[in-house]
Structure 1
């Protein structure tokens, strides 16, 4: 898929909520150039754009100022909106912005005095850094910590639950040498329990608590990792079932969203003619759900980054994107080697397919990150990748090292490739003479099967491999 002009995401310069006199919350995008005061002055002087109103959606207000264009919705005397560069929007642009405004979390209370919420933000930050933060070998937390505090204080200064968003829990790897089956198992349960424990700890020091959003990227990548769309749906439902089973009584701090939730709309037919002409690149034969495929098209049409820029970055020595590409390349080679497409390909063609899939995954990863930015513009951004923690994203280790140890994982390699071991690329082993759960690819069971000192195998009730030492 090639995008030949700016996407609507690239045109958005500010995300805001306001009343009739002032801007209450403002997210400044990387392409923005005006100060908050200049935006307010431009907005208050803006005039209705009659032509744009004609192609708009019911309830949408479009205004044009001296410097920017504004797309707004009003609710109870307050406005939420996107400020874009000045351009004439297509029907798709208007639909996209309208859908984002309806499905995004933008309207938050106005902040109280400057210092209110600082103490609570510091306490929450301390819990994060001691309980769940991933520390890469190149950790720069000391540079990003203050921004983390300020991100938290956005909510504590308003007396609101701290809202955090984590793109994660896509689906199990197709490679059965890594995982036991396509269904979530004890690995996912351990990860969900760890998130719940973090939220409970925060709730003890801050009564409004945390709203923790798991934003599944399964439907973003499923066709790239040889997983059918309906298998992703089954995996997600399995996660929700685990959460319902393990959450403490009265606990309501964890929420699940995905690609299809972000683009939920009753008027998608208005842009069907545009989507019919869009093709998303597929390199593997998977079963595609029609609605999900439409949403993948919307994602790339609305939020894609420059493919040429990505190519330049992955060819630049030392660039983080190069390491991300190498990480994807390594894991895609492992995941896809057992697919029908791989078995029918020469070594050269398979290597090319892996390269294409890895590049496509980076594009979609960027597009989804941009979408999450629009849907959750003020939220604390967490990641399963091994970020340096200098901000704006912060890495978490979902498998608690106090009760889990990894096998066949090299942290230097993890940090270099920006990859932290996840439950959906591994299996869990419960071994009688081990103090911790072992997190490893499922192929490890062959070693235990061949060792006459152990007996056991996969346990359906515990949803992990269980081995008992029979000799001392």
Structure 2
């Protein structure tokens, strides 16, 4: 009788156990719950790392820059919202290491420079935000994380951000016509387009025209933001072709990107860079616009800068 070798099921079972750690934090608009088996893209990627005995690499585009609207945020530098979110992501990597000793590493793909001109945030503010993220990670000992931005991928430090944006756009961005067709035929793409449009409207602090004119302008800019975001995703995939792709936007069950919720918030679209952190009286945290948080709590400073609010 010829000898037969049983298939190695360890990569799949380990991948399912790792996904089980992520599932409670899945950022999605789906109301149903799902098991790890409903995420074949992520299971396949994780299993590849497990077969090689290598640390699992996650990429997370996001953490771009603070909203330019002072009614929403405390300033242009990271604060307690980012600190809590990064600590949470590092804790996930630590949890993974407990069940998979090679562990995991999460690359924060800071995308502010990719569309800074479209969201009306100065490049020097974007530089300062990403640099402070790196310092925060080092100070807090968040060894499971690192930061990558457009300067790292296309040429290091320097002022020529417009040239870098143009390069990545030319190479990877879909056309506006292609995006319009996708948005017309895909409910998730439509929700993303509407969510970005809403953020662009809310982030506009000074507008002398009518509300309808602002909405028209922001709908046009939203196509550009999605184009650049797709382009950034293409560039990241080229640099980390095997990575498990996470997203700060809600994602459907089974999508190639896994949406991840960073902190509690009443809206699944809320992020630390569009809001301020409030510590509730019971010690839990949530995110909300600065103007709302000011009515509920007192401002707390850390290292000489506004950090968050505490409920009173």
TM over 0.5: yes
Alpha-carbon distance change, 136 to 354 in structure 1, aligned in 2, over 3 angstroms = closer
Does the CA-based 8 Å contact 2:27-2:259 persist in structure 1? yes
Answer yes or no: is 1:457 the counterpart of 2:287: no
Distance 1:330 1:141 in 2: 29
SS of residue matched to 1:163: strand
- State the partner residue of 1:328: 196
- 1:434 aligns with one of 261, 282, 306: 282
SS of residue matched to 1:157: helix
Distance 1:439 1:202 in 2: 26
Unpaired runs of 5+ residues, structure 2, are 1-6
Distance 2:272 2:219 in 1: 24
- State the partner residue of 1:74: none
Normalised by the size of structure 1, how large is the TM-score?
A: 0.60
How far residue 182 of structure 1 moved from its aligned partner, in angstroms, is 0.7
SS of residue matched to 1:434: coil
Answer yes or no: is 1:384 the counterpart of 2:248: yes
Answer yes or no: is 1:186 the counterpart of 2:80: yes
> Residues 352-391 of structure 1: matches in 2 within 5 Å?
352-391=216-255
How far residue 121 of structure 1 moved from its aligned partner, in angstroms, is 2.2
- State the partner residue of 1:423: 272
The number of residues matched between the two structures is 302
Distance 1:230 1:155 in 2: 37
- What do the CA deviations read for 1:351-400 (whole angstroms, capped 9, x no partner)? 3321221111111122212222222211101001110131211011111x
- State the partner residue of 1:159: 53
- State the partner residue of 2:3: none
How far residue 350 of structure 1 moved from its aligned partner, in angstroms, is 2.5
- State the partner residue of 2:167: 298
Alpha-carbon distance change, 212 to 365 in structure 1, aligned in 2, over 3 angstroms = same
Does the CA-based 8 Å contact 1:173-1:424 persist in structure 2? yes
- What do the CA deviations read for 1:308-337 (whole angstroms, capped 9, x no partner)? 111223344x5322221111111111101x
- What do the CA deviations read for 1:199-249 (whole angstroms, capped 9, x no partner)? 11111111111121111111112111111111011011111111112126x
Answer yes or no: is 1:201 the counterpart of 2:201: no
- State the partner residue of 2:26: 133
Alpha-carbon distance change, 133 to 321 in structure 1, aligned in 2, over 3 angstroms = closer
> Residues 66-465 of structure 1: matches in 2 within 5 Å?
114-130=8-24, 132-139=25-32, 141-142=34-35, 144-247=38-141, 252-264=143-155, 290-316=159-185, 319-336=187-204, 338-339=205-206, 342-343=207-208, 345-399=209-263, 401=264, 406=265, 409-410=266-267, 414=268, 419=269, 421-431=270-280, 433-448=281-296, 456-461=298-303, 463-465=307-309
Alpha-carbon distance change, 457 to 163 in structure 1, aligned in 2, over 3 angstroms = closer
Distance 2:240 2:31 in 1: 28
Does the CA-based 8 Å contact 2:29-2:252 persist in structure 1? yes
Distance 2:276 2:211 in 1: 28
Does the CA-based 8 Å contact 2:40-2:254 persist in structure 1? no
Alpha-carbon distance change, 351 to 133 in structure 1, aligned in 2, over 3 angstroms = closer
RMSD: 2.3
SS of residue matched to 2:52: coil
- State the partner residue of 1:466: 310
Larger Rg: 1
- What do the CA deviations read for 1:119-167 (whole angstroms, capped 9, x no partner)? 432322222224x333533457446323322210110100111111100
Distance 1:198 1:125 in 2: 11
SS of residue matched to 2:241: coil
